[in-house]
Structure 1
Amino acid sequence: MKKPIELDWANLGFNYIKTDYRYISYWDKGEWDDGTLTEDNTVHISEGSTALHYGQTVFEGMKAYRAKDGSINLFRPEENAERMQRSCRRLMMPVIPTDIFIEAVKKVVKANEAYIPPYGTGGSLYLRPYMIGIGDNIGVKPASNYLFSIFCMPVGAYFKNGLVPTNFLVSDYDRAAGNGTGSSKVGGNYGGSLLPGSEAHKRNFGDAIYLDPITHTKIEEVGAANFFGITKDNQFVTPISPSILPSITKYSLLYLAKERLGLEVKEEDVFVDRLDRFAEAGACGTAAVITPIGGIQYKDNFHTFYSETETGPITKKLYKELTGIQYGEVKAPKGWIIKV
């Protein structure tokens, strides 16, 4: 175990910090090279790269955790590999095989082990795998060359003062087209979210909530996260739609809600005018695991769930169970944790 570098672990945010090494690999003439670790954090690409002009970019977000016993945990990395492969196919990009993806992640984590926040600080090592189309291109077509890379940085506990509910604003903007790229983790989905997110922040809301692009009646995503609700009869409900990004955290919570908490779980339409069926609600994703939702502003109506200041009991249990698995405090379902 490498000794951690000197950082103010208690006050880490979610900000870019240059670490020592990143993994980089190039696709040329129909195949990937062997890949390597580099200290250079600057990407050098052609001005004709399709990533710059036609949005041929995909990425992932994942974490490595210093476990209670001092080992290093990766949480379900094969799910990130498979989701990235689906995103690549949607944009006609070559895929990174799962074994190569996981091995590259391990190399980056090992090379930057000193940056993993110590156990007990609530921090983790955030990893950002990404792929972009590069090379001398100009026409609207897939690139002939690609770059795949993984970099990392230490990030702090998302909630400095514990689980604190956040209020959200239903946006008039669409996050994605009905049959578009919503279910893929592509750069354009996030670029389009900056304006509605900014408008929500100006009105003192945590972020925007997006409705389905066809009928504008059903909740799809909460900012860059998935929505879930706990009904008054203890069902764990999350939206289902072809334009929602399938969150690894969400599907982990679906499993834990059923198998560990004994709740009935459902993926179904969540109508924005029927929020009173929920006793608790939250947004889930890699960064925060769970963000409790205090209330939702929809047109002229503001709906409060459990509380605007306190997190509901089931949401707390789910958060504790999942984070306990990630940090090695709670027994994980088979295959969920891979040691580095």
Structure 2
Amino acid sequence: MTGRTLCFPSLAPFSSLPSKMGRSYRSFASQVSSLQPLAHPSSPHREDGDAEAEWDGLGFGLMPTDYMYVAKCSGDRNFGRGQLRLFGNFQVSPSAGVLNYGQGVFEGTKAHRKENGHLLLFRPEQNAMRMRMGADRMCMPAPSVDQFVNALKQTALANRRWVPPPAKGSLYLRPLLIGTGPVLGLAPAPEYTFLIYASPVGTYFKEGTAPLNLYVEEDTDRASRRGTGSVKTISNYAPVLMAQMRAKNRGFSDVLYLDSQTKKNLEEVSSCNIFIAKGKNISTPATNGTILAGITRKSVIEIARDLGYQVEERAVGVDELAEADEVFCTGTAVGVAPVGTITYRDARMEYRTGRGTICQELSSTLTGIQTGKIEDGRGWIHEIF
């Protein structure tokens, strides 16, 4: 494996730490214990050993784990040394920038358990760089790439007993960067908090691995030109809930949005990017400022080209859906998910899914790299233990 390998000491809950440990480890444990939250976590876990969880049939819901990572920034706009603390609530001012003006960005990535027990992170530097880009757009300081990646590793290791066994799921890691300092007039917050929490997850959609059924939305825009559609800001997501709920109440998996200017080109689904395939040609909407530059999207494009497919990033007309052989979605949460049908106005279009499809080939290749079953020849994987 050509990816990076890093070894950390295993972090057990502090009540079970051995009494005769090194001075540095005792100091570290003391620092973390001093950061216990106001409310103790209510997650169903034992003080040692494996997490008490049903790994079979694991969905995409919050299952509180043991620890989260927290770092603060104020004044000089540099984040201090972060610390692990028990997962739980924390205090924030009612006038915090994130609560009043939505000043916040987030990321999502996963840790997978390898057969030998080691944990694997997938391209965490990409998440770090995307957070920094988004933070700049939202007038926020951001942790360095090194601090971001190290924080992910610490959080994953501290919660390693919550990483599902191979082929049972993964540990979803959610980095958050929010303006926690008080502000009344419209202005950047004076203080920021960078934190990471974790939850074991399985498949994102209720259909599991079954093909998705999408609905093309024409009445609601996800993003506008020169807006924040390309930024993973918290303010992009609540506005799509109404359209998403309407679609789900009608039996659809999710919503496929069109561009706000012409209503003629595909943009993305509520939480993932979209691809169409015809023969050996694959097309996906270009990230022109209204579409999130997904890390899974980027990885799938690279893998597809290596496998001999012709991949285009361009404006994809909604009318092209009628001629496509396959349609699939990509994202950290969804992986590479096949689309079985798309409903546009009065037309319901069906697509190839299952064995022998491009989607299946890309999905198995990507998953193989992420889980260590396929050799990583690109330096994408960070192996930690």
Which TM-score band applies after superposition, normalised by the shorter structure? over 0.9
Rounded to whole Å, the distance in 1 between the matches of 2:157 and 2:63 is 17
Q: Which residue of 2 aligns with 1:218?
A: 265
Report the equivalent of 1:131. Answer: 177
Q: Structure 1 residue 324: deviation in Å?
A: 0.5
* Cα distance between partner residues in 2 of 1:158 and 1:243: 23
Range moving further from structure 2, 291-300 or 47-56: 291-300
Asked if 1:318 corresponds to 2:362, the answer is: yes
RMSD after superposition: 1.6
SS at match of 1:10: coil
Closer/same/farther in 2, CA of residues 219 and 161 from structure 1, 3 Å limit: closer
Letter in 2 for 1:335: G
Give unpaired runs (5+ residues) of structure 1.
none
Using the alignment, how far apart are the partners of 1:161 and 1:61 within structure 2? 21
Pairs aligned (count): 335
**Residue 327 of structure 2, aligned match among 249, 259, 281:** 281
What is the TM-score of this pair, normalised by structure 1? 0.95
The amino acid of 1:324's aligned partner reads G
Report Cα offsets for 1:22-45 as digits up to 9, x if no partner.
Answer: 000111112222111111411211
Whole-angstrom distance in 1 between the partners of 2:263 and 2:206: 35
2:80 & 2:335 partners in 1: Cα distance?
34
What is the aligned counterpart of 2:98 among 39, 48, 51? 51
Query: Displacement, 1:161?
Result: 7.9
Distance in 2 between the 1:174 and 1:84 partners?
Answer: 23
Matches within 5 A, 1:61-72: 61-72=108-119
> Do residues 144 (structure 1) and 199 (structure 2) align?
no
Structure 2: tracts of 5 or more residues without a match: 1-9, 13-48
Answer yes or no: is 1:329 the counterpart of 2:373: yes
Are 2:228 and 2:289, in contact at CA under 8 Å, matched by a contact in 1?
A: no
**1:60 aligned to which of 107, 114, 120:** 107
- Identical-pair percentage: 39
2:147 matched residue in structure 1: 100
Letter in 2 for 1:224: S
Following superposition of structure 1 onto structure 2, how do residues 6-17 of structure 1 map, counting pairs within 5 Å? Answer: 6-17=52-63
Q: Which residue of 1 aligns with 2:164?
A: 117
Q: For residue 227 of structure 1, what is the aligned residue in structure 2?
A: 274
Q: 1:237 to 1:135 in 2, by over 3 A?
A: same
Which amino acid letter does the alignment assign opposite residue 147 of structure 1? T
2:358 is matched by which residue type in structure 1?
I
Separation (CA, whole Å) in 2 of partners of 1:178 and 1:302: 29
Amino acid corresponding to residue 277 of structure 2 in structure 1: I
Q: Rg larger in 1 or in 2? A: 2
Tell whether the 8 Å contact from 1:292 to 1:311 is kept in structure 2 after alignment: no
Kept in 2, the 8 Å contact 1:63–1:74? The answer is yes
Between the aligned partners of 1:213 and 1:188, the Cα distance in structure 2 is: 17
- Displacement of 1:291 after TM fit? 1.8
- 1:42 is aligned to 89
* Structure 1 SS opposite 2:374: coil
Per the normalisation by structure 2, the TM-score is: 0.84
Q: Distance in 2 between matches of 1:200 and 1:102?
A: 37
Task: State how far apart, in whole Å, the 2-side matches of 1:210 and 1:19 are.
Answer: 34
User: SS of the residue aligned with 2:297?
Assistant: helix
| Residue 51 of structure 1, CA deviation | 0.4
Q: Which residue of 1 aligns with 2:133?
A: 86
Q: Which amino acid aligns with 2:84?
A: L
- Per the alignment, residue 315 of structure 2 pairs with 269
> In structure 2, what is the equivalent of residue 202 of structure 1?
249
- Matched residue of 1:290: which SS? strand
Contact 1:69 1:328 in 2 (8 A): no
